[in-house]
Structure 1
Amino acid sequence: MRVIFLTVLIVLMSRHFLFEPVAVHGESMMPTFEDDDKVVLMKIYTIENFDMIVFTAPNGVNFIKRVIGVPGDRISMEDDQLFVNGRAEAEPYLDKNRKIVEQQGTVRLTEDFEEFTVPAEFYYVLGDNRLNSMDSRVLGFISKDSIVGEVKVRLSPLEHVGIVE
């Protein structure tokens, strides 16, 4: 009986403090993540630019987004080109969405915005589906305290199981 109790305790503690499985809801991260994909969050993390995180929005709903700016970064967007600290950044995860935009005859995937600095203890996040994403452009900066965890592993669909990069 002690072994069963100890095992259950270890599993519950691990899930609460180390990792958590979650389901993706919505299309804001397409094509990186589809609706109902299953991922595992690590709750011990160091967040860097372009990591994917889950955070709790002000309305209490959890969102998965890509971190574009960490505290102290200067961020701007001009002609669909992201600049972080004055340096143009490639965003290869947007390639499929850019092709769709071109086919639809839309000019840009992401509207321009002037340079700003991400405040201490906050992050700037964007969805990969820039035309259909509630992200920092709407929600503002994401506080460090609202982050649930960093996405590390995809559990489903089976053809995409593995480490998330």
Structure 2
Amino acid sequence: MQIWSNLKHFFQKNHFGFTLFLGVIVVVALFTYLLFNVVWINGTVHGRSMQPNFYAHDRVLVSPNAPIHRGDIVLLDPPGSSGNKLFVKRVIAGPHDQIRSNDDTTYINNHPISEPYLDPYKTKLPPNQLLTKNFTLKKLFGLKKVPAQSYFVMGDNRRQSADSRYFGPVKKSRIIGVVKVRYWPLNRITFY
């Protein structure tokens, strides 16, 4: 009983300080929630599809309102998914782009694009082996161009990536946002 009496007396004497302390905790909790769920979204890399640039269990912060450009790394809910496992992939082509790959060169609208992030894999391949199998959007899905409001995404580890070559172009509405920071592990912090 003495403890409750002492606590009651303490809060009566320090009512303003306690209210201020409680208010600060609520503001910090609200700010943290908004920061990591509205301004930034927290994501985790699963699997090997983005190696050597991202590894399983890397943690990223994603901007849900950033514009999407070719070469961006995005967090997405892949077509056919129940939303339980989000993918991290690289945007290769945007709406109305033609895409094809021939002899390990990716062409967008018949122009070869530079993909230096693939070099670590290409240097390890035996002669006459491709990292990216030849394909055209037409042969894969019967499409001439990536549909409006859609993106063609691929993993950097092309031989071990479930990506748009298998599930097709991804609607913009399925893209959670653009990866802006890898914050974990600490020794690999990177800003994009």
Q: TM-score, normalised by structure 1?
A: 0.91
The answer to whether structure 1 residue 7 and structure 2 residue 35 are counterparts is no
Larger relative CO (CA 8 A, sep 6+): 1 or 2? 1
Structure number having the greater strand percentage: 1
Report the equivalent of 2:17. Answer: none
1:73 aligns with 97
Q: Distance in 1 between matches of 2:107 and 2:75?
A: 23
Moved more, 107-116 or 50-59: 107-116
Which of 18, 27, 33 matches 2:39? 18
* C-alpha distance after superposition, 1:68-126 (max 9, x if no partner): 01111111111111111221111100001112222xx5611111112531111111000
* Shift of residue 20, structure 1, vs aligned partner: 1.7
The number of aligned residues is 162
Higher alpha-carbon deviation: 153-162 or 82-91: 153-162
Q: CA-atom RMSD, angstroms?
A: 1.4
- 1:161 equivalent to 2:189? Answer yes
User: CA-to-partner distance for each residue in 1:7-66, whole Å, 9 max, x for gaps?
Assistant: 222221222211022221100000010111111111111000010001012223200000
State the one-letter code of the partner of 2:131.
Answer: L
3-state DSSP of counterpart to 2:121: helix
Q: Which amino acid aligns with 2:115?
A: E
Q: Identify the residue that residue 141 of structure 1 maps to in structure 2.
A: 169
Q: Which has the higher helix share?
A: 2
Structure 1 unaligned residues grouped into runs of 5+: none
Judge conservation of contact 2:43–2:75 (CA < 8 Å) in 1.
no
| Identity within the alignment, % | 35
After TM superposition, the structure 1 = structure 2 runs for residues 57-72 of structure 1, keeping only pairs within 5 Å, are 57=78, 58-60=80-82, 61-72=85-96
Point out 4+ residue stretches in structure 1 off by more than 6 angstroms.
none
Unaligned runs of 5+ in 2: 1-21, 138-143
Letter matched to residue 117 of structure 1: K
Q: Using the alignment, how far apart are the partners of 2:36 and 2:183 within structure 1?
A: 16
Q: 2:132 maps to what in 1? A: 110
Larger radius of gyration: 2
Kept in 1, the 8 Å contact 2:149–2:172? The answer is yes
Q: d(CA) in 2 for partners of 1:23 and 1:62?
A: 8
TM-score w.r.t. the length of structure 2 is 0.79
